[in-house]
Structure 1
Amino acid sequence: MSEDDSLSICNVWKGNTSKIINELEAQIPSHFQIYSDMYKEYLHAIDNIFGTCVLSEKEFFEKLDIDPNFLKNLGKYSDFLSSTCIKQIENYDNYLKWYSQIRASGMKSYEEFVHTMMDSYSKTLSNFSKNIKK
């Protein structure tokens, strides 16, 4: 049997599909690092902007002679908003973990379903091929 006789449509597509998937998988660590680095820079830029504002506005606000009780209450309000924001960040992180697990579980279930369907398809093809005369 020559090499061309052993080729099938499925083998041709499977080989190239596997090459593409392997290349995509190889890129995953790089892509995560790229997005992680960009996100860190974004967060640091925001932090630095507020730091710059504090330095620029410090003298201006000191001259306004703002009531210390107002500043104390503003600090409490800011702490409340910060803790709320941190809780939301943590909740979103937990949601992403849960969502990822659900999606992975769904893909595994789908893969099992496809394997079951392919087994049935293979049996059907086998039954038909028994009836084909060469």
Structure 2
Amino acid sequence: MQVNDTTQKKSEWASLGEELGKEEPQYLSVCDVWKDSVHKLVTKAEYQTPIYLQAYTQVHTEFLHCVDNLFGTCYLWQKQYFDRLGIDKGVLNVYGQLYDSWVDQTLNAMDTYANYKKMQADMMVNTMKLGNDILHSWIDAYGRAVSFWMNQFNH
């Protein structure tokens, strides 16, 4: 996945505001209107993407710290409670090994999921690029067909 340079996009977006006071653009076709409008929307979305990612990252990081802190805070109470039960240290060690095995499996599953999401994103980007290429070839074929028909009608 590619992350665009936000400073370039920011300056491009900022320049859109400067252009508002200038004279109205002269459009040659409906496609010019659409392209100009869509370009403004895409530029704004590209500029804001890092903001969304940063906000999500901050929330996710804080959530993970809260979960980690929960088990750290409960440690003293748990130790006092389980020490009163008189659980054999051998049982605790076996339980620890079992839990370590579960943690290792979970870490492997997390790696597998991360690789899957990367592969999924790459596949989506490639599919969009392919769709864009197909769209361009269709538009090109349509343009050639219209051009051919116009030549036939003009003769």
Q: Same fold (TM over 0.5)?
A: yes
| Other-structure match for 2:86 | 65
Q: What is the TM-score normalised by the length of structure 2?
A: 0.77
| Other-structure match for 2:146 | 125
Q: What is the TM-score normalised by the length of structure 1?
A: 0.88
The reply to whether residue 34 of structure 1 matches residue 55 of structure 2 is: yes
The reply to whether residue 116 of structure 1 matches residue 137 of structure 2 is: yes
CA root-mean-square deviation: 2.0
C-alpha displacement of 1:131: 5.9
Deviations 1:112-131 (A, max 9, x none): 10000010121223234446
Deviates more, 1:88-97 or 1:56-65: 56-65
After TM superposition, the runs of 4+ consecutive aligned structure 1 residues lying more than 3 A away are 3-6, 127-133
The residue type equivalent to 1:113 in the other structure is I
Name the structure, 1 or 2, with higher relative contact order (CA <8 Å, separation 6+). 2
The reply to whether residue 45 of structure 1 matches residue 66 of structure 2 is: yes
The reply to whether residue 89 of structure 1 matches residue 110 of structure 2 is: yes
Distance 2:64 2:27 in 1: 56
The residue type equivalent to 1:94 in the other structure is N
The residue type equivalent to 2:66 in the other structure is A
Distance 1:32 1:50 in 2: 28
Deviations 1:45-77 (A, max 9, x none): 111111112122221111111111110110001
C-alpha displacement of 1:4: 8.7
Distance 1:26 1:112 in 2: 25
For this pair of structures, how many residues does the alignment match? 131
Distance 2:70 2:153 in 1: 75
